Amino acid sequence: MISSQDAKLTQREREVLALVARGLTNQEIAQHLFISTYAVKVSLHQACVKLGARNRAQAVIFAFKRRAVDTQDAFSMEELADLLASLSPEAIQTVAQLVKQRLEQTHKTSPIEVPPIT
């Protein structure tokens, strides 16, 4: 049995999960990647096993959280901006502060200035 903590996703599994995140069906993913729907199902199943996910939605969430799939592989910057624009100004400010904290932790840089939302 594959340990979900140690198993790494293959390139194909990451591609499939990125397309699942975009809302594509197995058939659409197969057409996009020029593979069979069976190959899509196998890749998705293996990704679920490796990530310890019960379904495709949970697999996408786990893959993003573990940085196995980059959000930019699934969404354009414009799409991410549209998503953020749908939030309230308070929620955007909270997200900005959380991003600032993560960047400071990750890069151990000097404090980053986040301008207030007006």
Span 53-104, pLDDT tens digits:
999 999 999 999 999 999 888 999 999 889 888 999 999 999 889 988 888 8
- CATH code for position 37: 1.10.10.10
What the block records as the tokens of 60 is 């996408």
Does the model's pTM come out above 0.85? no
pLDDT attached to residue 107: 76
Identity of residue 112: I
Question: Is 64 domain-assigned?
Answer: yes
Is residue 118 situated within a structural domain? no
Token pair for 103: 């960047």
In a domain, 82, yes or no: no
Phi, psi for residue 53 in degrees, rounded to 5:
-95, 145
Domains of the chain: total: 1
Q: Distance between CA atoms of 25 and 15, rounded to whole angstroms?
A: 13
